[in-house]
Amino acid sequence: LTGVLDDCLCDIESIDDFNTFKIFPKIQKLQERDYFRYYKVNLKRPCPFWADDGHCSIKDCHVEPCPESKIPVGIKAGSSNKYSKAANHSKELEDCEQANKLGAVNSTLSNQSKEAFIDWARYDDSQDHFCELDDERSPDAQYVDLLLNPERYTGYKGPSAWRVWNSIYEENCFKPRSVYRPLNPLAPSRGGDDGESFYTWLEGLCLEKRVFYKLISGLHASINLHLCANYLLEETWGKPSWGPNVKEFTRRFDPIETKGEGPRRLKNLYFLYLIELRALSKVAPYFERSVVDLYTGNGHEDAESKALLLEIFRDTKSFHMHFDEKSMFAGDKKGAKSLKEEFRLHFKNISRIMDCVGCDKCRLWGKLQTQGLGTALKILFSEKEIQNLPENSPSKGFQLTRQEIVALVNAFGR
């Protein structure tokens, strides 16, 4: 894949170079640190759009649970949304000084912790959320260790998986029913069209709606790439073996096999990367304040995590071909405002569709990456609020929960 991306002045080779040598090694290290490997998620929320067609019974779809004793004290001690020492209770810290290694899933919380969750949840975030957020106070919300539950192909496929993506594209990408996506099995056969009519339609859209489609397509490509790269190859002596499946990758992305569609999907992945990279460079001032520590209860590790995160921010700022979001929602105020709201509601709907994914592991990573992208969009539309943050106190104008921070870093890491 080579050349310039549409809708931004950036070439693929520059992104590859920048990512491989500067960003990827550091973001990979960051994802392994306690603060970022640990995500709270409710995998039991019912699908709001259609009757549940039963959860995946394949054992590799399961998300691995884990005892509470493994969860870092600073994360479980109080409000899961806060990230500074001041937000947590010293008594609970003393009780659990040793518990600074992470586990996968925690479903039990003390009453004191529950009260702390509720206090913080009452805080009314004045920013528009782009995602339907899980209620972290729900007894069904569990802590998951992302390193123990990697994103990979579990065998989940077929009508259930197809319906999720079809619903996302058909109902939430500003697309009329009469326009068919390339390679859509429901499209009437039109001889040699190969999706050209779809791209003629896409080019006719305003920039914002075109960007929306590309972000969703990029997210889809990212998930598919990870499934191809970490595929269930065979079971030997009852032990599963995972690895790259070149044949599956070719089927999904090869220019000839996909009639030119594969490279477009991959370009949209690069576009998604640029949007999330831009969000990281924009949110740096939020984290540069001394009031923010990435708090787990282990002071030495927390300081190292923050230093590494700030180093990544410096790198993102040094990239010279950022996507310029100023061209978005720049029309007349009234029209721009209603388009932004439409954009937000479409994206929120997509985050709700993730509750319809039948495989728990796929649902976990779908929800995390959708929340990560939703957080990136929230950042890009809050530039003024971020610039006006007070140095030494929590801000009412712009706030990120711990969940959003973890989702943003891990989605970009993907």
DSSP assigned state of 290: T
Neighbours of 189 (CB within 10 A): 5
Length of the chain: 414
Distance CA 249, CA 231 (A): 10
pLDDT for residue 10: 87
- What are the Cα distances from residue 385, in Å, to 67, 252, 282, 340, 366? 39, 41, 11, 17, 29
Is 96 a residue of the active site? no
- What are the Cα distances from residue 380, in Å, to 322, 323, 360, 383, 402? 12, 11, 30, 6, 18
Residue 152, annotated as binding a ligand: yes
Block means of pLDDT (10 residues each) for the chain, length 414 residues? Answer: 85 95 97 92 87 65 72 68 51 36 37 46 48 71 88 83 88 86 77 76 90 94 94 78 93 94 95 94 93 88 95 94 82 83 88 90 93 92 86 77 94 96
Residue 217, annotated as binding a ligand: yes
Q: Where do we find the tokens 């929306």?
A: 212
Is 228 a residue of the active site? no
Residue 165, annotated as binding a ligand: yes
40 SS3 class? strand
DSSP assigned state of 180: P
- What are the Cα distances from residue 208, in Å, to 81, 337, 339, 350? 31, 12, 8, 17
- What are the Cα distances from residue 329, in Å, to 160, 172, 337, 339, 346? 35, 18, 7, 7, 15
Q: Which of 8, 10, 228, 362 is catalytic?
A: 362
Distance CA 381, CA 42 (A): 27
- What are the Cα distances from residue 53, in Å, to 56, 110, 153? 9, 34, 20
Domain positions in the chain: 12-79+121-181+274-413
233 SS3 class? strand
Q: Which of 10, 66, 131, 359 is catalytic?
A: 359
Element spanning 236, H or E: strand 231-236
Question: Where in 28-172 does DSSP place strands (E)?
Answer: 38-42, 141-145
Neighbours of 100 (CB within 10 A): 18
Q: Provide the total of helices (H) and of strands (E) in the chain, helices listed first.
A: 15, 4
Distance CA 355, CA 352 (A): 6
Hey, what's the torsion of the CAs at 102, 107, 112, 115, to 10 degrees? 110
Residue 300, annotated as binding a ligand: no
